Amino acid sequence: MSEAILKALMQLFALIIKQDGGMLLSEREYVVNFLNKQLNHDSVNAFLELFDRDAGPLMYHVPKGQNKPPSVKDSVKIFSICRQINKTLNQSQKVVVLMMLYEMVNSDKRFTRSRMNIINTVSEVFRISPEEFRSIEMYIKHDHAGDPGDGSILVHRQSEGCPDCEEHTDESKHEHNLIIILRISSVDLYFIKHYSDNQLF
């Protein structure tokens, strides 16, 4: 991912978080982990400073009464950043960026109106269809073995077993394993996540 796109993402992350008065530790940790996957250690701090500058103060609890729509200034800035990203990335990469924004919000499950307004704007500028937008949101929020009711999402429970495996496995050790897969058909892109008490192979 290019330096210009990373800077734009840091600004988007910060603009989403600042809408509700500041960031929680879990949200900042998401950004730190994201940067650690993208950059070497020396470069992480520079991008983190860019994020911290705009994200607002670090909070230890969710403030009340902070569910306001983005200001006009922030809305213009968000639209400008999205247009910049839109010119640089292909459609698959835009889907990944939208997924990252959703994951950050999901890190503390603060799906407030102000945050969702920004994510909706990003989706519209990136021309992601309403159906795939809903599938992404459902995938991010879905964390149990129930049927999500979306044909783009597959939920596999480890308790279903592996009848064709050569070696018998103790299924009781894996009964809490859950694998959830999302397919974005327009770009033939797959996302996978799992919930497990043990290492998953």
* Model pLDDT for residues 57-115, shown as the tens digit of each residue: 888 777 665 566 777 888 888 889 998 888 889 999 999 999 999 999 898 888 888 88
Q: Taking all residues of the chain, what is their mean pLDDT, rounded to a whole number?
A: 84
Q: Looking at the DSSP assignment, which residues form a beta bridge with residue 183?
A: 190
> Cα-flanking dihedrals φ and ψ of residue 132, to 5°?
-70, -30
**4, 42 contact by CB (below 8 A):** no
**CA–CA gap between residue 47 and residue 199 (Å, rounded):** 32
Which pTM was predicted? 0.81
> Tokens standing for 26?
């879990």
Q: What are the CA-CA distances from residue 145 to residues 174, 178, 179, 182 (Å)?
A: 14, 7, 9, 14
Q: How confident is the model at residue 23 (pLDDT cuts 50, 70, 90)?
A: confident
The continuous run of DSSP H or E covering 12 comes out as: helix 3-18
Tally of CA atoms within 13 A in the half-sphere of 119 that contains its CB: 27
- Answer yes or no: is pLDDT of 161 > 60: no
C-alpha angle 65-34-32 in degrees, rounded to nearest 5:
65
pLDDT of residue 195: 85
pLDDT of residue 151: 92
pLDDT of residue 47: 92
Q: What percent of the chain has pLDDT over 90?
A: 36
Q: What percent of the chain has pLDDT over 70?
A: 86
pLDDT of residue 5: 84
Q: How confident is the model at residue 198 (pLDDT cuts 50, 70, 90)?
A: confident
